[in-house]
Amino acid sequence: MQKRLRFEYPDGVKASLWGILSPLIVALVVSIVASIVCVIAEIAPETLDTNPAFHLITNAITQLGFLSVALILAYKTKTNIVEATGLKTTSPWWIYILCAVLAIAISLLLNPIIASWQELLSLINFNVPDLPIEVNSVGNLFLLLGLMAVLPAICEELLFRGVLLNSLRKYGAVVSIFLSATFFSLMHMSLLQLPYTFALGVLLGIVVYYTRNLTLSMIMHFTNNAFVLILEYLTYGQAQSAFPWYMVLIGLAGVAIFVLIIYFVAKLLNKVCFAKTQSTEQQYLAIQQDLPQKVRKSMWLMPSLVAGFCLIIMSLVSFGVL
C-alpha cells in the first residue's frame, strides 16, 4: 500500500495530546525505575534527585519521547514522515541565514520582557527551576548544547511543526500557526516559559507554514537555544544586580519590534516561497476531509483540558502550593 504524503487533521489532535502526555509518561516511568534502583542499591531517593546525570538522562528520554510520538503516528497512519513533515523541502540559501539571524534576534528582543515576567513571578514566590547542570565549563556547555539545543531542535520540531502544523494546513495560516504555537508552549508546562515559547512557536510556525521547510525551523530552534546557553556560560558567576523596572518598558518595546518583524517576515516568505508551496500542496489539501468548525473544536477539547490541567499543577508546584 502506498504511503500518504501528508498528515491530516486528526493526526494533529493526536500529536498534541501525546505531545503533552509524553513528558508525564516519561517522568512516571523514570520515577518508578529510580525508586526500584534506590531500593536495590539501598540509597536515598534524594541522592538521585540531586544527581545532574539523572536529570540529563530524564530530559534526553523526554525529547526522544516526542520523536517516538511522531514516528508512531506516521507508522499508524501509514504516512511518509520525511515527505509529510517537509524534511525534503529546500529553500534559497539566504533564507537559511535569515532564519538563523531571526532566531538570535528573538532572544535579544524578548529577553527584557521575559526578565520582567520572571521578576514578577519571583515577587509572588515562584521557584525558577535551574538547568540540569551548571554551565561553568566548556564541557558542560557542549553537553547542554546537545541535550537542550540539538535534541529539542529535532524532536520537538518534528512533532509540533512537522506533524501538528502541517496537519492543519487545510484550515489556513492563523489556525495552523497559532494552534501549533499554543500546544508547543503548553507542552513545556512552565508558567515562566509560556510567553517566550509561544512567541518562538509563532515565529517557527510562520517559517514552516510559508516555506514548508522543516529544516529551517530546526536550525532556528537550535540557534535560539544555543544562543541562550552560550550567554548563560559567558555570564556564569556574575553577581545579580537589582532588577531595574525600566526594563519593563524596554521589554514592551522589544515585543512591539518583534511583532513588526514577524509581520514582515510573513509578508516576505509569502511573496518568495508560498505561491510555489501552495501550488504543490493544493492537490493534497483538496482530497482531505473538510470538517465543520464545531467538530474541529470538539476534537481539541481533550488535549486542551490535559494541557491546561498539567500547566496548573506544575504552576502550583513552582509556587510551593503542592
0.85 exceeded by pTM: yes
Asked whether residue 1 is domain-assigned, the answer is no
Asked whether residue 193 is domain-assigned, the answer is yes
Q: Let me know the angle formed at the C-alpha of 83 by 81 and 86, rounded to the nearest 5 degrees.
A: 100
What residues contact residue 177 under an 8 Å CB cut-off, 6+ apart?
A: 165, 202, 205, 206, 209
pLDDT, tens digit (0-9, with 9 covering 90-100), for 78-108: 999 999 999 999 999 999 999 999 999 999 9
Tell me the CA end-to-end span of the chain in Å, nearest whole number: 51
Q: Is the pLDDT of residue 295 over 80?
A: yes
pLDDT, tens digit (0-9, with 9 covering 90-100), for 255-276: 999 999 999 999 999 999 888 7
Q: What is the mean pLDDT of the chain?
A: 91
Asked whether residue 149 is domain-assigned, the answer is yes
Asked whether residue 238 is domain-assigned, the answer is yes
Q: Looking at this protein, which amino acid is placed at residue 177?
A: I
Domain count for the chain = 1
Asked whether residue 293 is domain-assigned, the answer is yes
Mean pLDDT of 168-181: 94
Asked whether residue 4 is domain-assigned, the answer is no
Asked whether residue 104 is domain-assigned, the answer is yes
Asked whether residue 290 is domain-assigned, the answer is yes
**Which residue segment(s) compose the domain that 99 sits in?**
9-318
Q: Is the pLDDT of residue 47 over 80?
A: no
- Grid coordinates given for 96: 537559511
What residues contact residue 67 under an 8 Å CB cut-off, 6+ apart?
A: 154, 155, 158, 159
